[in-house]
Every structure is written in structure tokens, then in C-alpha cells.
Structure 1
Amino acid sequence: MRVVLETYGSRGDVEPMTGLALRLQALGAEVRVCAPPDFAELLDGIGVPLIPLGWPIRALATGAVPGKTSLADISAELTAMAYEAVAGAAEGGAAVVATGSFPAVAGARAAAEKLGVPYVFTSFSPSYLPSRHHAPRPWPGQEVPPEVTGNQALWDLDAEHKNALFGETINSHRASIGLPPVDGVRDYVFTDHPFLAADPVLGPWQETPELDVAQTGAWIRPDERPLPADLAAFLAAGAEPVYVGFGSMLVRGANPQDVSRAVIQAVRAQGRRVLLGSGWADLALIDDQDDCFVVGDVNHQELFGRVAAVVHHGGAGTTATAARAGAPQVLVPQVADQPYWAGRVTELGIGTGHDGPTPTAESLSAALKIALAPETAARAAVVAETVRADGAERAAKLLLDMIDRAGSAG
């Protein structure tokens, strides 16, 4: 049987899908992944076919795709491109699993509907799913009237806002492929039975009668890569460093040189060596002192167990990887669900959230004092023992059971 996994987003959206893909393959399924062309090398490296979807995500995020500035135009094209990619990959298949950019997921859902195969929406954070237990995060540019304060009222407003942003383009595309319009695009895309690929300790889901959520745990792809020899030598040459990296994120409000200077000075102020992950933030050395080292894409699962703390953007995957390694964390959230994870790390006592998206030497140094405190390290070690490692396997089995039930019912 063939399962198609669709996502349009950064590395944090694609990486969990690779974990699920490998578990599905191990259970005998044929898997194809529809994702941005940036990740061809990643998918090729694990033996999973990539169906390129849309523009390169980094080019779109940095404004390097000419003429792609209007949300309406981008949304309409993404919906259509996702539909075409998924419809082609899933023809004759068994199921579609989708996450990432909302209009792209809408296209994936339409493809599954047109083909008559099961569809599963997946969230990597509880904060994205409607619930009376928490409020939604406003979308950029969304005006929330001050009198709207209750969680349910805020989620109703969220549904209205998504209809206003995407309803016309989604329904125009549906009409073009012979499908009827939908009234509430958010609930259509999310469904009432989504998967939640987040760890139950790090990101617990509180039951609500509106949604039948299957919380599987985070989808983690085991990384067997050894650390580069020069990085291993740096780690062995002194005390545990503090790792600072922002993954597939640009740091808002500052240029790379200023951010690099701020984070290096903050770590040095705590008497620690510095390990920079260059990433999209383009972190780099500011001098030739031997207490600082720069790395690119390396095995975080191996690395995070050998550092004193991890400073990062607060993506779901990085948060889970650091928590599994028992590394204290400082989260510098930029967008989306990252403030949620900063709050959870703070609540659990395994680190702290930075106040605002742009770190200074003083603000980050203050946050590092909390993360590097002995009690934070002790708490991080305790929580590490509770973080699940089998989320992708659980999800794969749930999905295959769902396919079997759908086949029996048919």
C-alpha cells in the first residue's frame, strides 16, 4: 500500500515526516513525500522518494521568489500545487497525511477527497488545535477585538479569520476540480480526528468533546551520523559548551553579525565555551578566540547530550530533541508555535523562554543564568527519562489500522 506524506514548510515541518516515513516503510508500506525541493538531499539520503512541491521554502521565506509577495496569490498557487503533487503521488494509494502551510494542506485534503482515500491532518503542537482549554495565537495582521476574551470565542474568531484569508481561494480551487464548496475551511482542513505528533509530557493535550485527537508522541527519525572529527575535537578540548542555533529561522529585528556578537558575548559572560549552529540565521565567529566553534547540519541527537545548554528558536523538533537529551534550554521564539514551547519549557523547569525574538548580550545572559543553574540541569535530567521515543511507530501503526478499517468498510 502507498501512503503519501505532504508538508510545505521548513526543516521542522519535514523532519518529523521522515521519521514517520521510515516507520511506515519498516511496516511494509510504500511511502512518498510531497515537500519543498530544498529537501531533496534529505529524502534521498534516507531512501524515500520526494515529490517536489512548490517553490524552495528558503527562497520564499527570504523574498527571493520574484513576484511572490501577496498572501492571496501565494495561497492560491500553493493550494493548486499541493493538489497536483498529492493527486499524482496518491493515485491508486491508500492514505494521505498532511501538515505544514494551511493552503497547501487544503490542497492535499482536496486531493484525498477527490481520490476517495483516507486523509489525516497532523499538528506538531497542541496550540494549533482548537480547544476550550487554550486560546489560539493570532495570525500576523489579525485584529482581535478587546471584548473577545474567552477561549471558545477566540477560536470562533480564528475560524472566521481563516475563512476570510483562504476561503475564496480554497473554494475556487475546489470548483475547478469538480468538488463542492466548504463553509468552514479550518475545520475542513483539520478534521475532527487529527493526529498530534507531540510528546505527552512536553506538549500535553487536554481532552475536548469537539476533537478526537490521537496523540502519538513526537515523530523522531533516529540519527546515526557521527559528529564531525573537528567538532568532536572541540568538545573534547574543554568544558561542555553552550550550543546556540536557530535552525530554519531568521532572527527578527537584527542582522546576523549583531546576533552572532550578542549570543557569543552572552555565553562568554557565563564563563562557557560557545558552539554556534550557523543555520538560516547565518551565525558566525566574531573573533579568533579558541572558545568558539561553528557547525552546520550535524546530529543534534548526539550533540545535545554533550552540551551544557541549548539556545534555540523553539521549534517543536528541537525542543523535543533537547528534552530527550536532558539538555537545559533557552528558547528565543520567533513565530508560530514557538512561544508555546517556550512556555512549556519554563513550566516544566527544564529551561526558560527569552523575552522577545531578538537577543542581546544582556538579555540572553540573564536567560542563560536560569538554564545553567544546577537545579535546571537536575530537572532536565528527570524530564528526559519521561520523553517518548516511539511516536513515529505509534503513528504508523494507527495509520495502517485506519487504512485496514477503511478497506474493510469499502
Structure 2
Amino acid sequence: MRVLFSTYGSRGSVQPMAGLAVRVRELGAEVRVCAPPDEEFAELLAAVGVPVIPTGAPVRPLVTTVTPGSAAGLAQRAADLMAAQFEAVAAAAEGCDALVATGPLPVTAGARSVAEELGIRYVHASHQPVVLPSPYRRPPARRGRPLPPDVTDNRALWDLDAELANAMFGEMINGQRASIGLQPVDNVRDYAFTDRPWLATDPVLSPWQPTDLGVVQTGAWVLTDERPLPDGLVAFLEAGAPPVYVGLGSTPVSAPKDFARVAVEAIRAQGRRAVVSRGWAELALVDDQDDCFVVGEVNHQALFRRTAAVVHHGSGGTTTTVALAGVPQVVVPQGADHPYWAGRVVDLGIGAAHDGSVPTAESLSAALGTALTPETRARATAVAGTIRTDGATVAARLLLDAVGQG
């Protein structure tokens, strides 16, 4: 049995797919992953022995140069992403029994079309719930297509979202489908999602309320990281009390030097040392004092367990990793699904959420003050024990059972 995984996005899209691919391989299937050609993703997949087919343009230059929320150049980027599915992904899917896809709509709509052409099983996967239609929340706004603020009926807004998706991508996907002899689709979003999408999030951190959509929540797809921490970082950790980690992952900010300065000042105001992660925002140390240490790509699973708290942007992957470590977190949401995860951290009592994306030293210090209380620490430890660690195994078995029955 052969399974192809297609993903496009930052590390939060690639790493969970790698986690699932490893589990599927352990159950006896042959696996391969189509992923962006960024060097860090190639290294991540090579480290776990999963073959990778570079697909599309590198993500990091795109993420770090496009103005947040801007629709400039969106049509061409979407067309290129979709074309990559019909070309590189279609070629890689030859001889496969299933195709699992995640990422932006041009990716998943294209991937399902490829699976349809080849007559193989297709699964849509989401690593956060906010894009899946639900009467319990508003849909996220699409770039350049804001939702009417005066409409409060969520069902009506999701219907409008489907119309916007058709307007943005309908002609594009149907042109590609026609080129391989497939009939047009009249609802791009729902076609890509299917009526039974998989939600790869933890049911405690991210409970899904049942809807008309047959969502299958598997638990988060965690890729176990066994890399040792760098010697210099270990020496820093052992030289004093547990520090506060601050990092923005794959999220850039408009003023990274200011963000790093504010974060370090806030951490120092709480009497703590700091570990600063460069990330795609290129955060850096603000001075040469010995209470701060800067890191690049490291094993977060190992590092977070040795911190007093973690300050981050609020992606699903980072939120889950911190929660599993059992330490408090402060979310400074920068966009996308970040406000959702910030809300979940507050609702669960495992940390604090900063109000807005641009903190001051005072506002971030106040949030840290909440996170660093013994009560928050105890709650974070308790919640860690309730989070599932078998999500990728659950999904792997579901996938292979479905293909075997198909």
C-alpha cells in the first residue's frame, strides 16, 4: 500500500503531516510527502526518513515578504499552487492508494481533483478548526474579501464564504479540471473539504462541537523529536532558574527588534531569564547581558519542559507542544487562527492571552504575571495529563482501514 501526503504552508502544516507519515509507515505502508522546497522542511523529513517531493515555491520568502492581509499577487500565487498539485503531486500520486492533503484551498481542491482523476482515496486534513464551516463561529476573512461586519448569522456568513471561494478559485480549478477531462465543481470549498474532513487537533485543547459536517477529530499529529539540545543551551539552562522562552515560529512581525526588546524587558520585569528564538521574524538579543540566550531551530518538546513559561504567537502546533510540556503559556496572537488558540489557553486556565499583536513591556509583563502564578502552573500541569498523544496513530489506522475497505 502506498500513501501520498500533500502539504503546503509553514512548519505547522509540514510537521504534523510528517508525524502522520511516520505512523502510517510503521503500520506497513509506503509513504512519501509533497512539501514546499524550503531547506528546513527537507531536513525535517530527511531526519525521519520520509521521502519528499519538492512542490511549489519556497514558503519562507513568501511569508516574510507579503504584507499581512494583502491580496496583492494572490491570484498568481494561488494559480501556481494549484498547478503544482496537477503537475508534481499528480506525478507523485501515480501508483498510490490514497492522498491526504492539507493547506490553502488551491492546494486541497487541486489535490482532491488529482485523487479523483486517479480513482484513489482522498482525505482532507485540517490542523485547526476555524476554517471548517460551523454555526458556532464566524468564518475567517479571505484576503481582500472582508465579511460584512453587520451580519451576525454564522450560517449565512459561511454561505457567503463559499461564494467568495468560488469567485476567487472557481474558474481556476475548473480550468485545470477540464484539462484532464474532469467535470466542473460548483462549490470549491466544500469539494476540497469533503463531507468528512479530518481535524488533527486535541479534543481537550480544541473541542469540536458537532455540526452537519461529519468532522473526524483524531487528536493532534505529533512528530516525536528526539534531538538533543545544543550544549550551549543546556549550559544556560543549568546555570540558573528556568527561563521564559519567547518565539514567533514561522510568523514574521513588522518590527522584530522592538518585539524582542519588549519581550526581554517584560521577562526581566518578572525577575526571569530569557531564551529568545530567532524564528522567521529573526528575533535577536537586545544586549550582551548573560540572562538571555538566543536559539535557532531546536527541539521544542525538550526545551519547553525546562522553561518557566512560553511566550508565543499562538499557532496550533506551538500551543499543543507547550500544553503537552505542562508549562504556562502567553499567546500574543499575530493573525490567522492565533486568536482562537489564545482564547482556548485562557478558557482552560493554562496561561494568558495578550490583547493585540503589538505588546508593550508593561502589557506583556502583566500577562506573564498571570502565567507565572503557581495556580496557572498547576493547571497547566494538570491539563497536560489529559492531552492525547496518539492522534497520529489513530489517524494512521483510520486511513489504512479506509483504504483497505475501499
TM-score, normalised to structure 1, is: 0.95
Spell out, residue by residue over 1:49-97, the C-alpha distance to the aligned partner (whole angstroms, 9 max, x if none): 1111101101122339xxx951111111110112212211111111000
State the identity %. 63
Residue 140 of structure 1 and its aligned partner are, at CA, apart by 3.1
1:280-291 equivalences under 5 Å are 280-291=280-291
The correspondence for 1:176, drawn from 174, 179, 184, is: 179
Partner of 1:141: 144
Partner of 1:315: 315
Residues 1:345 and 2:348 aligned together: no
Which stretches of structure 1, 4 residues or more, deviate above 6 A after TM superposition? none
Spell out, residue by residue over 1:187-231, the C-alpha distance to the aligned partner (whole angstroms, 9 max, x if none): 0000111111000000011111x2111111000011111111111
Number of residue pairs matched? 400
Partner of 1:74: 77
TM-score, normalised to structure 2, is: 0.96
Partner of 2:132: 129
The CA distance in 2 between the partners of 1:33 and 1:146, in whole Å, is 40
The amino acid across from 2:120 in the alignment is V
1:153-302 equivalences under 5 Å are 153-208=156-211, 210-251=212-253, 254-302=254-302
Spell out, residue by residue over 1:354-381, the C-alpha distance to the aligned partner (whole angstroms, 9 max, x if none): 1112222122112111111111111101
The amino acid across from 1:232 in the alignment is V
The amino acid across from 2:356 in the alignment is G
The amino acid across from 1:53 in the alignment is T
- Asked if structure 2 preserves the Cα contact closer than 8 Å seen for 1:63 and 1:69, the reply is no
The amino acid across from 1:11 in the alignment is R
The CA distance in 2 between the partners of 1:162 and 1:124, in whole Å, is 20
The CA distance in 1 between the partners of 2:215 and 2:377, in whole Å, is 32
The CA distance in 1 between the partners of 2:72 and 2:395, in whole Å, is 36
The CA distance in 2 between the partners of 1:172 and 1:148, in whole Å, is 33
Partner of 1:3: 3
The amino acid across from 1:10 in the alignment is S
Spell out, residue by residue over 1:260-298, the C-alpha distance to the aligned partner (whole angstroms, 9 max, x if none): 111111111111100001111111111111100001111
The CA distance in 2 between the partners of 1:29 and 1:321, in whole Å, is 27
The CA distance in 1 between the partners of 2:85 and 2:184, in whole Å, is 18
The CA distance in 1 between the partners of 2:46 and 2:325, in whole Å, is 27
Contiguous gaps of at least 5 residues in structure 2: none
Describe the SS at the equivalent of 1:78.
helix
1:26-41 equivalences under 5 Å are 26-38=26-38, 39-41=41-43
The amino acid across from 2:395 in the alignment is A
The CA distance in 1 between the partners of 2:169 and 2:153, in whole Å, is 24
The CA distance in 2 between the partners of 1:88 and 1:171, in whole Å, is 19
The CA distance in 1 between the partners of 2:402 and 2:308, in whole Å, is 43
The CA distance in 2 between the partners of 1:301 and 1:362, in whole Å, is 29
Describe the SS at the equivalent of 2:65.
coil
Contiguous gaps of at least 5 residues in structure 1: none
The amino acid across from 1:243 in the alignment is Y
The CA distance in 1 between the partners of 2:104 and 2:405, in whole Å, is 29
